[in-house]
Structure 1
Amino acid sequence: MGMNVLHQLCCRSSMWEKTSATRIVPWALDRLDLGDNALEVGPGYGANVRTLRERTAVLSGLEIDPALATRLRSQHSERMRVIEGDGTAMPLPDREFSSVVCFTMLHHVPSPAQQDALFAEAFRVLRPDGVFAGSDGLDRPMFRLIHLGDTCVPVPPDTLADRLTRIGFTDIDIEPGASIFRFRARRPYAGTSK
């Protein structure tokens, strides 16, 4: 799940943190209640930590990159519990979280099958009626250019609803913007689906 040097510099910049915190996250989570125990999958450099922490009592972050997990712990340990691990095989108990979120990271998951595994894990760790939400980039020429040399497997928004439905999510809403799309879905109460 690599990133080129330019992409790394962008993702750890204060400009990116401001853009993500003031535009991307508020749009992706508009009118959503994250509940009391949220998990961010792939927090990376921590651009969203402060914004997410304002929306939930407890925030955890699951980060696959050991160096980034260490950096998150040193910079955000008072705001976020950092867990090193893979979103496709989360080292977390079933039904622990009221919400699972991820922002502009799904395209770094190396294959559609692994993306589906991440969605299934998000479903597993969510409580009934918990929300899975976030955003990712639309597959456009500039998006591809920024990701030269990166792992870049864009998620087609027009197939995402079917993929999430197969896993068991309900109340699925996918909305494209100019360069990104947002998604949201719920794990239903027992007895209404998987």
Structure 2
Amino acid sequence: MDAYAVSESDLKHAGRPTKLEAEEAVRTLLKWVGEDPQREGLRDTPARVAKAYGELFAGYEQMPEDILSRTFEEAAGYNDLVLVKDIPFFSHCEHHMVPFFGKAHVAYLPSGPVLGLSKIARLVDIYASRLQTQEALTAQIARSLDEIVRPRGVAIMIEAEHMCMVMRGVRKQGTVTITINFTGLFESDAPQQARFMMLARG
């Protein structure tokens, strides 16, 4: 199933354990790796981890519609490319729950109203603050912009380094993964694609 197909409202509280249950799960993991959760340095770790997870995965509490629904009509007739590049993000791989991080380049061709630029960065943060794959993250950002803002086209490129390839497994440091997604006019307009790539990478 496409990760985006899951209802946004269903992500919020479906079968959610309590904070105390989450802390107990952390204690179980500490025991599993061979630690003593009762030793001084680890006594408060379960509560700290639960709090940190609340921050790291705050995207489950945020809906893209809430930030993309407000646009600005007064754009003086501007209808060309809008690109916000080098948006830093941190996310977590859904396969191993270890970080991946990098930068996103997000562009759209307005069909009238324009977005506040900070909204694009916040949209990246919403989806990055969930368990992800880079491919799904790229598609979700593009599809949200496409379906909520309804521009003439959206172009997304994400460049990221994955700790699941650096810290474990093949242990290849410095490896960067690039994902790209085009919608609307960008899908069939090679010059627009090339222009986006040149501006994003330039």
| TM-score, scaled to structure 2 | 0.26
Question: Whose radius of gyration is greater, 1 or 2?
Answer: 2
More helix per residue: 2
Question: TM-score, normalization: structure 1?
Answer: 0.27
